[in-house]
């Protein structure tokens, strides 16, 4: 994923803040920290769908009996996939979103049938329309990544919006990731214009963050640091957002925070704080954190290294 050019703080590009942010971008890319948007928000792997039966107030007795028969067939050794599929199909024909999702799962993974992504998408779409918005989200990721179906960005957005319309919170990050991806590398039509998709993404992410989803801090930090889609740049806000993600235990943002402290981006230069966050990011397997930890620990005195290890251990233990 290409990182957009950062706007200059001075006409000659000589400001300390500009050079620090430029260094941040170059090192982040070199360290392989520009992960894909979908990977960063940890797209869930859908194995067996939600197996909880619908309540009797919604589902009729015949529907519930069919679902239970399907589960009994799957519980056999070996599973009787043919009987399970027939029972789920009866339940699906009477409106069971659970049964529809199971039929999609069977076709996606080849349980008793040949793997068929299109047929899986057919049943997942029916499940979503029947009131299971997480399968609208599932379809969005399938179309976005071309997983079992032809890649189709428009259909991905369609299903993400359907999940969002159903008030399914995970859809906020999914849709925001698409809108931000659209704006990467695209210059505004007029100076001062802000891409409408970026503004929508920012609002979705702020909602997600307010609801406690710290993953939104990654996208928001990028918007404020890189000026994606013509958005105003604010290193201070980017620092605040990176701090939220780092405190929540995200190794990638811990690596960013280490770099912010090292270079004074949005905050004062603090080599010890930089080393603490680099140490934590490195322990979490973040490539940028690993590179920074190797660099920073060589600059520390023995006393500083002990202090860094003590602070990192305290943070890891929840202190």
pLDDT for residue 191:
84
Angle between helices 216-226 and 170-183 (to 10 degrees): 20
101: nearest Cα among 79, 63, 128, 61: 128
Q: Which residue has the higher pLDDT, 185 or 202?
A: 202
Note the pLDDT tens digit of each residue in 206-265: 999 999 999 999 999 999 999 999 999 999 999 999 999 999 999 999 999 999 999 999
Please, what is the Cα angle at 204 between 199 and 210, to 5 degrees?
125
pLDDT band at 291 (very low <50, low <70, confident <90, very high): very high
pLDDT for residue 223:
96
Query: What's the chain's average pLDDT?
Result: 84
Domains of the chain are 16-42+177-316 (1.25.40.10), 65-168 (1.25.40.10)
Reply yes or no on whether the pLDDT at 304 is more than 80. yes
Angle between helices 97-109 and 117-129 (to 10 degrees): 170
Average pLDDT in the 48-55 region?
Answer: 39
Longest dimension (CA), the chain: 74
Say how many C-beta atoms besides its own lie within 10 A of residue 64's C-beta: 19
Phi then psi for residue 196, to 5 deg, are: -60, -35
Say how many C-beta atoms besides its own lie within 10 A of residue 199's C-beta: 16
Say how many C-beta atoms besides its own lie within 10 A of residue 82's C-beta: 11
Note the pLDDT tens digit of each residue in 91-137: 999 999 999 999 999 999 999 999 999 999 999 999 999 999 999 99
Q: Note whether 169 and 211 are within 8 A (CB).
A: yes
In this predicted structure, which of 15-19, 141-145, 156-160, 188-192 has the lowest mean pLDDT? Answer: 15-19
Q: Note whether 202 and 210 are within 8 A (CB).
A: no
Average pLDDT in the 185-210 region?
Answer: 93
Reply yes or no on whether the pLDDT at 18 is more than 90. no
Reply yes or no on whether the pLDDT at 31 is more than 60. no
pLDDT band at 60 (very low <50, low <70, confident <90, very high): low
pLDDT for residue 59:
55
The percentage of residues in the chain with a pLDDT greater than 90, rounded to a whole number, is 77
pLDDT for residue 173:
95
pLDDT band at 186 (very low <50, low <70, confident <90, very high): confident
pLDDT for residue 33:
35
pLDDT band at 36 (very low <50, low <70, confident <90, very high): very low
**Residue 230 DSSP code:** G
pLDDT band at 43 (very low <50, low <70, confident <90, very high): very low
């Amino acid at each position: 994923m290409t990182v957009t050019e950062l706007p200059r703080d001075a006409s000659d590009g000589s400001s300390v803040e500009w050079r620090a942010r430029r260094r941040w971008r170059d090192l982040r890319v070199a360290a392989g920290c520009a992960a894909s948007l979908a990977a960063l928000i940890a797209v869930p792997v859908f194995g067996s769908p939600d197996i909880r039966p619908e309540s009797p107030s919604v589902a009729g007795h015949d529907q519930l009996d069919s679902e239970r028969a399907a589960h009994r067939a799957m519980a056999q050794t070996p599973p009787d996939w043919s009987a399970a599929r027939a029972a789920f199909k009866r339940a699906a024909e009477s409106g069971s979103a659970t049964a529809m999702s199971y039929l999609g799962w069977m076709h996606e993974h080849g349980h008793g049938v040949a793997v068929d992504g299109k047929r899986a998408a057919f049943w997942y779409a029916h499940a979503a329309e029947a009131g299971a918005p997480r399968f609208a989200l599932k379809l969005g990721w399938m179309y976005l990544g071309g997983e079992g179906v032809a890649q189709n960005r428009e259909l991905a957005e369609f299903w993400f919006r359907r999940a969002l319309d159903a008030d399914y919170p995970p859809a906020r990050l999914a849709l925001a990731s698409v809108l931000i991806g659209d704006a990467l590398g695209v210059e505004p039509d007029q100076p001062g214009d802000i891409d409408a998709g970026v503004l929508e993404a920012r609002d979705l992410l702020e909602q997600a963050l307010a609801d406690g989803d710290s993953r939104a801090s990654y996208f928001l930090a990028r918007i404020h640091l890189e000026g994606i889609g013509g958005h105003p740049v604010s290193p201070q806000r980017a620092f605040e957002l990176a701090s939220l993600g780092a405190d929540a235990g995200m190794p990638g943002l811990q690596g960013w925070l280490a770099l912010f402290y090292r270079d004074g981006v949005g905050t004062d230069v603090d080599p010890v704080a930089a080393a603490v966050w680099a140490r934590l990011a490195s322990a979490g397997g973040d490539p940028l954190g690993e590179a920074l930890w190797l660099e920073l620990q060589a600059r520390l005195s023995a006393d500083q290294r002990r202090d860094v290890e003590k602070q990192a251990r305290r943070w890891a233990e929840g202190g």
